[in-house]
A and B are shown apart, each in its own frame.
Chain A
């Protein structure tokens, strides 16, 4: 990792360790991957084509920490961002591997009063993601069935040949 900081890396470039020899395959994989996934060593804003990214929940890249046009691989952009609502958040808070990938460059928000929610890796419980309630978080098929039967009953639905309709 140390040699990477001194040498700005780009995707596809082979990692060479301090002695100049290639690293072992397993190390090379880990070392070459991290700069690609992390914005910590980037000198260009990865969201440069996304006008909304820095005003909302972008990559956390902070252009102000870099001098314009200069290559400054030693500068670590802060990963902690204050949102438009004034709340400080970690853009990687839902990404459990972010801190590992970026070599701890993805720091966590400090000074927040909200405590970590037990049983989850949520950093700031003021934010939550709920996804796919229907049939995943809540078993709804049985509720749909009951609702259909209630509707059939409401209309006194009967099939002349076979009687009441019930699912």
Chain B
């Protein structure tokens, strides 16, 4: 939770947040593999896929749990 607060207040936008995190902590691999994206193109493809999936989860979460404060 605290880490995300820092992230939220440091980097604007979801994709830049992921890039920032991966640039600082190392780029990940899908499904526990060892093949991490090397080229800029591969990195963009990974971030795009993660963001698209995140949007789907976000829509579900907002519909099921979001309440006005």
The minimal Cβ–Cβ distance linking A120 to chain B, given in whole angstroms, is: 14
**Cβ-defined contact, A144 with B28, below 8 A:** no
The minimal Cβ–Cβ distance linking A154 to chain B, given in whole angstroms, is: 5
Secondary structure at the B interface, as helix, strand, loop or mixed, is: helix
Q: Please, which residues of chain A bring their CB within 8 A of the CB of B51?
A: 151
The answer to whether the Cβ of A53 comes within 8 Å of any Cβ in the partner chain is no
Q: How many residues of A contact B (CB 8 A)?
A: 26
Residue ID in chain B nearest A155 by CB atoms:
B30
Complex: how many Å from CA A138 to CA B32? 34
The minimal Cβ–Cβ distance linking A157 to chain B, given in whole angstroms, is: 5
Q: How many residues of B contact A (CB 8 A)?
A: 37
The answer to whether the Cβ of A127 comes within 8 Å of any Cβ in the partner chain is no
The minimal Cβ–Cβ distance linking B26 to chain A, given in whole angstroms, is: 5
**Cβ-defined contact, A146 with B66, below 8 A:** no
Q: Indicate which residue in B25, B49, B62 contacts A162 across the interface (CB closer than 8 Å).
A: B25
Residue ID in chain B nearest A141 by CB atoms:
B8
**Cβ-defined contact, A159 with B25, below 8 A:** yes
Q: Please, which residues of chain A bring their CB within 8 A of the CB of B36?
A: 159-160
Complex: how many Å from CA A145 to CA B5? 9
**Cβ-defined contact, A155 with B62, below 8 A:** no
The minimal Cβ–Cβ distance linking B22 to chain A, given in whole angstroms, is: 8
Q: Indicate which residue in A150, A151, A160 contacts B26 across the interface (CB closer than 8 Å).
A: A160
Which positions in A face B, CB cutoff 8 Å? 137-148, 150-152, 154-162, 165, 167
Which positions in B face A, CB cutoff 8 Å? 1, 3-5, 7-8, 14, 17-18, 21-22, 25-34, 36, 49-51, 53-55, 57-58, 61-62, 65-69
